[in-house]
Amino acid sequence: MTLPPKSSLAALAALALLGGALPAGAQTMILRGGTIHTGLAGDQTAEAVLVRDGRIAFVGRAADLPPAPDVPVLDLKGATLFPGFTDGHAHLDGIGWRELTLNLEGSTSVADAMARLTAWAESHPDGPIIGRGWIETRWPESAPELGQGPRFLTAADLDAAAPGRIVLLGRADGHAVTASSAALAAARIDAATVAPSGGEIAKGPDGKPTGFLLDAAMQLVAGLRPQADPAALRAAYQAGFRVEAAYGWTGVHFMSAPWKDIPLLEQMAEAGEAPIRVYSAVTPDGAEALYASGPRSVADGRIITRAVKFYADGALGSRGAALFAPYSDAPETTGLMQTDTAHIEPLLQGALRSGIQVAFHAIGDRGNASVADWYDQAMRAVPKTEWKNPDLRWRIEHAQILRPSDYHWFADLPIIASMQPSHAIGDFHFAPARLGEQRLNGAYAWKSLVDLGVIVVGGSDSPVERGDPLIEFYAAVARRDLEGFQGPDWRPEEAVSRETALKMFTLWPAYASFREAELGTIEVGKRADFTAFDIDLMTVPAADIPHGHAVLTVVDGKVVYRRD
């Protein structure tokens, strides 16, 4: 991934230019001057949209616009307008913190990442150093003792770059962290420490921890992170909102939303500080309380909390994804399960009885099959008459590696597949090594699922990935990396059409959040959520898609981002 980030400071600068032709806070306007893709079947287009009080009052030919002399006109100036794009899987807190802590995204080598750490340490001389975003898969440095492939960051790297400091640097996938020696000492992790179940403390040939902590073992150093004070937390969410609006997202499905943060998000929305929609699936510590309260919604549905997210396994890159057969490049392991039937069944049954949606992280074929089986067991165990809402819409997050014989679960139960196209074009650089040829048949199988009638929600998993809707859309339709590369094992037949890709980021996330009657297409009566890009995603050559930009983000008829 070599494109420069488009977020951050540029977004802040652009946000300051808001307003222009329209009165501040206007929720009534005419949009015209560019192609309008309505998202309706057959890729229907229009020339003009009239918005009144935040809702779509007219869509059609400009010549047919009803007379509206009082209504301000927003000229698209050739940009292309779409229904509001929604990121079906993102971590709003992490996106915000990425702006406020050491960001190692895009580092090209161990040396590059460590140079960034040294610079950060010099400009932040006090306190622990928290960073994330490194990914070793394309780094040139390798570990001779491993005999192959790029290596993870180690405590020795961190100690050399920031001597004596407590440093925690998270891998981009969020499933591993490297701790410095000072951090290991502060957390009392040494050669004798046993990893918690579902985790691993990597040890070197000398038996000492290397600093690399996988999955549940990350909890051992969690206490070293400075407890965010309320003002810092609010600033992080504000930064997350700014970044998302500037990418063109009108909403995010906030996965693993910390239960303790929900009241803050609700306050921010009521104070007018939530420019885009947030649909949350909360951390498991909030499950019982959410079951008791039922779905929550504030500020006219701007912040909705009605799902809980659980974890079945880890990630493929760090070999935490649970597989039926051993990893092809590590025959001693089949990955790590994070929960079991006895623990999860009561929680799933509680969700059925309280009308709370379930979202379950599952990456490996064993992880996914286990979740499908748990869903099925819970649905059999609780009589339908006791389901609070029979319209379940339960989801699996990622659904990356499936046995083709398990596809039917998604169509039959049914299960919504929440998938991230950018994961595929990043992971395919190492997935063939991890999985071998045969298991790639069920890898990132978007088209196979869509063809079975499964709802496939598109997301970015930002900050695991950049979080740019154009990268996601491109990955979904091209199934090539950002350099245009496609390996022989990439299963190009699983790419989707542009019409399908559009649904993955508009109508289907609306459905997955129970809002398809209000959101997801440009139709009279629906809420006026729009995203405009400076390219037409439906017609430009695929290779051009990631080079476009969002130029306009409208939520409830209000401009929340505009790039001039």
Nearer to Zn ion, 136 or 461 (CB): 461
Query: What mask of x and - would describe binding to Zn ion in positions 437 to 466, judged by CB under 5 A?
Result: ------------------------x-----
Both tokens of 407, joined, read: 């596809």
Decide: residue 118, CB within 10 A, 0-12 exposed, 13-18 middle, 19+ buried: middle
Give the range of 66-74, 232-240, 249-257, 320-328 binding Zn ion by CB under 5 A.
249-257
Minimum separation from the CB atom of position 527 to Zn ion (A)? 26
Minimum separation from the CB atom of position 520 to Zn ion (A)? 22
Minimum separation from the CB atom of position 322 to Zn ion (A)? 16
Question: For Zn ion, how many residues bind (rule: CB under 5 A)?
Answer: 2
Nearer to Zn ion, 461 or 534 (CB): 461
Query: Dihedral, CA atoms, 32, 37, 40, 45, nearest 10 degrees?
Result: 70
Query: What mask of x and - would describe binding to Zn ion in positions 251 to 290, judged by CB under 5 A?
Result: ----x-----------------------------------
Minimum separation from the CB atom of position 458 to Zn ion (A)? 13
Three-state SS string across 74-124, please?
EECCCCEEEECEEEEEECHHHHHHHHHCEECCCCCCHHHHHHHHHHHHHHC
Nearer to Zn ion, 275 or 463 (CB): 463
Minimum separation from the CB atom of position 170 to Zn ion (A)? 13
The secondary structure of residue 497, as a DSSP letter, is: -
Which residue of the chain is nearest Zn ion when measured via CB?
Answer: 461
| Cα 435 to Cα 437: distance, rounded to the nearest angstrom | 7
Q: What is the CA radius of gyration of the chain?
A: 23
Nearer to Zn ion, 174 or 350 (CB): 174
Inter-axis angle of helices 230-247 and 8-16, nearest 10 = 80
Minimum separation from the CB atom of position 172 to Zn ion (A)? 11
Name the helix (H) or strand (E) containing 241: helix 230-247
Nearer to Zn ion, 187 or 255 (CB): 255
Minimum separation from the CB atom of position 32 to Zn ion (A)? 38
Nearer to Zn ion, 160 or 222 (CB): 222
Nearer to Zn ion, 101 or 180 (CB): 101
Q: 397: how many CB neighbours lie within 10 A of its CB?
A: 29
What is the residue type of 339? Answer: T
**Measured in Å, how far apart are the chain's first and last C-alpha atoms?**
26
Q: Does residue 215 belong to the site contacting Zn ion (CB under 5 A)?
A: no
Partners of 86 in beta bridges: 251
Q: 119: how many CB neighbours lie within 10 A of its CB?
A: 13
Minimum separation from the CB atom of position 436 to Zn ion (A)? 25
Q: Is 202 helix (H, G, I), strand (E, B) or coil?
A: strand
Nearer to Zn ion, 121 or 255 (CB): 255
Q: What does the binding site for Zn ion look like in residue numbers (CB under 5 A)?
A: 255, 461
